[in-house]
């Protein structure tokens, strides 16, 4: 009897032990996928090949560990000194375009072990008051990182603000600039939807999109309306090109970032000279949200806030056509300048 019970106990212990070892091996394999090089999809030929670079494996653990704690204000000065952590000026900036998918792009790039994001929009270069505070103020707004990592911030207002290109040039003339664009009419509707939601939250009424976008006197597209002007990408880009060569910009397809983000992110990795580290494992489609969400590791994943991915109002199809026709020549010029073509109408 006693012998039988002992045998049973041994059997149970064996099963439990196997399960525990199996789980540990599974976790190691899963987390390991993040640090493995992934095969690269076909990329734009004008982008240079990434330089071989070693990213310490510990970086990934720190991103959810120490750096995370520091962001929450929980790390000591001693820890910062010990790990040689620094606040670096950004080596790349997502300068726009508003409603192009700037938040999704920043969050997805932050999956890369060598990238650290500034969580908030800093508005240093577009806001005169902030700009007057000086570069050390700006640096102080940056997250802590390891010296080998790169810091990225995003402030979509930069793209359309007159003074910004010169100011960024003065800080760093070789900085890398990312612009994420969507089909211009869709972007304008998205822009309108955001403003509309803000008004509704304050119980205010607001005009219909059609009324804002069409000049009632001329029946033409109202170019004074900001949502229209922002979507004339080439006009803004031309101002930037007075300061930076076109090679310093990378255009991200915001429509493809919604439906198939990985190839877009791999192009950005190459542009930033980073080894390809973001993989399909890091991105999963969430049917409830209707968008891709982020998986950092087996325990930590997140979707973007509900304010990203709003339902757009129905727009009169004749107004949509009018807008598409209006944007068409500007789009052609944009393709010509950037060397990136989209299937926009
Ligand atoms: P809509 O709200 O019009 O759908 P920005 O961050 O520049 O304000 O851009 C917001 C847009 O990002 C959203 O516009 C949404 O379509 C897009 N987007 C792209 N990828 C997304 C993702 N994974 N989750 C949520 N929104 C995403």
Going by their DSSP bridges, the two strands 176-181 and 150-154 should be labelled as unpaired
Distance from residue 99's CA to the centre of ligand 1 (Å): 7
Catalytic residue (one of 99, 117, 176, 322): 99
Give residue 79's pLDDT.
Answer: 75
Query: Is the CB of 95 within 6 Å of ligand 1?
Result: no
The per-residue pLDDT string of the chain (345 residues; one tens digit each, 9 = 90 and over) reads: 444 566 555 666 555 555 555 554 444 334 333 333 222 223 343 344 444 344 443 454 456 566 666 665 666 777 777 778 999 999 999 999 999 999 999 999 999 999 999 999 999 999 999 999 999 999 999 999 999 999 999 999 999 999 999 999 999 999 999 999 999 999 999 999 999 999 999 999 999 999 999 999 999 999 999 999 999 999 999 999 999 999 999 999 999 999 999 999 999 999 999 999 999 999 999 999 999 999 999 999 999 998 999 999 999 999 999 999 999 999 999 999 999 999 999
Distance 8 CA to ligand 1 centre (A): 56
| Whole-Å CA distances, 239 to 92, 136, 161, 234 | 19, 27, 10, 9
Question: How high is the pLDDT of residue 7?
Answer: 59
CB atoms within 10 A of CB 43: 16
Owner of token pair 């640090």: 35
Token representation of residue 251: 């255009």
Q: Return the pLDDT at 174.
A: 98
Structure tokens at 291: 């968008």
Dump the DSSP string for 92-103: EEEEE-TTSSHH
> Cα–Cα distances in Å, from 221 out to 132, 209, 330?
37, 12, 14
Instruction: List the binding residues for 3'-phosphoadenylyl sulfate.
Output: 99-103, 182, 190, 292, 308-312
Name the residue of 185, 294, 308, 313 whose CB sits within 8 Å of the most ligand 1 atoms, as the mutation to test its pocket. Answer: 308
Annotated binding-site residues read: 99-103, 182, 190, 292, 308-312
Ligand 1 pocket, mutate which of 181, 233, 309, 311 (most atoms under 8 A from CB): 309
Q: Which of 160, 258, 311 to mutate to test the pocket of ligand 1 (most atoms within 8 A of CB)?
A: 258
Residue 37's alpha-carbon distances to 25, 40, 153, 278, in angstroms, are 20, 9, 25, 9
Q: Measuring from atom 20 of ligand 1, which residue has the nearest CA?
A: 258
Domains in the chain, please, with CATH?
Answer: 87-183+229-308 (3.40.50.300)
Q: At what angle do helices 261-271 and 102-109 cross, to 10 degrees?
A: 70
* DSSP state, residue 4: H
Question: How many whole angstroms separate alpha carbon 179 and alpha carbon 157?
Answer: 11
What count of Cα atoms within 13 Å lies in the side-chain half-sphere of residue 190? 21
The per-residue pLDDT for 10 is 66
pLDDT of residue 38: 29
> With the CA atoms of 168, 165, 117 and 282 taken in that order, what torsion angle do they form, in degrees rounded to the nearest 10?
-140
Distance 104 CA to ligand 1 centre (A): 6
Q: What is the dihedral of CA 86, 91, 97, 99, to 10 degrees?
A: -30
Q: What is the dihedral of CA 47, 60, 53, 283, to 10 degrees?
A: -20
State the Cα angle at 209 between 157 and 234, rounded to 5°: 40
- Cβ 99 under 6 angstroms from ligand 1: yes
d(CA 109, CA 103): 10
Q: Are 188 and 228 in contact (CB under 8 A)?
A: yes
Q: What is the pTM of this model?
A: 0.83
* Pairing mode of beta strands 283-286, 249-253: unpaired
**CB of 47 closer than 8 Å to CB of 252:** no
- Amino acid 240: pLDDT: 98
Between the CA of 309 and the centroid of ligand 1 the distance, in Å, is 5
Per DSSP, what are the bridge partners of residue 291?
A: 286
- Ligand 1 touching residue 194 (CB < 6 A): no
* Residue 117 annotated to the active site: no
């Amino acid at each position: 009897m006693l012998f039988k019970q002992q045998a049973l106990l041994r059997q149970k212990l064996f099963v439990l032990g196997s399960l525990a070892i199996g789980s540990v091996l599974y976790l190691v394999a899963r987390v390991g996928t993040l640090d493995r090089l992934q095969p690269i999809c076909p990329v734009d030929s004008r982008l240079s090949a990434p330089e071989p670079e070693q990213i310490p494996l510990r970086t990934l653990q720190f991103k959810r560990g120490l750096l995370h704690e520091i962001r929450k204000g929980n790390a000591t000065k001693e820890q910062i000194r010990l790990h040689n952590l620094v606040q670096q000026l950004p080596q790349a900036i997502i300068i726009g375009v508003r409603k192009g998918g700037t938040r999704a792009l920043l969050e997805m790039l932050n999956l890369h072990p060598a990238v650290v994001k500034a969580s908030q929009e800093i508005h240093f270069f577009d806001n005169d008051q902030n700009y007057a505070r000086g570069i050390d103020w700006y640096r102080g707004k940056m997250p802590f990182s390891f010296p080998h990592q790169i810091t990225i911030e995003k402030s979509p207002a930069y793209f359309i603000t007159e003074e910004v290109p010169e100011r960024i040039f003065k800080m760093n003339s070789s900085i890398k600039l990312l612009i994420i664009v969507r089909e211009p009419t869709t972007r304008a509707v998205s822009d309108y939807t955001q403003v509309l939601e803000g008004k509704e939250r304050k119980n205010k009424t607001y005009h219909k999109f059609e009324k804002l976008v069409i000049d009632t006197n001329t029946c033409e597209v109202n170019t004074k309306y900001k949502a229209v002007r922002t979507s004339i990408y080439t006009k803004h880009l031309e101002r930037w090109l007075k300061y930076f060569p076109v090679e310093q910009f990378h255009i991200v397809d915001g429509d493809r970032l919604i439906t198939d983000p990985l190839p877009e992110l791999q192009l950005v990795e190459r542009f930033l000279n980073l080894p390809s580290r973001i993989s399909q494992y890091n991105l999963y489609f969430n049917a409830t949200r209707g968008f891709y969400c982020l998986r950092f590791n087996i325990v930590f994943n997140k979707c973007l806030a509900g304010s990203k991915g709003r339902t757009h109002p129905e727009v009169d199809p004749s107004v949509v056509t009018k807008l598409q026709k209006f944007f068409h020549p500007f789009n052609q010029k944009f393709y010509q300048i950037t060397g990136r073509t989209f299937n926009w109408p």
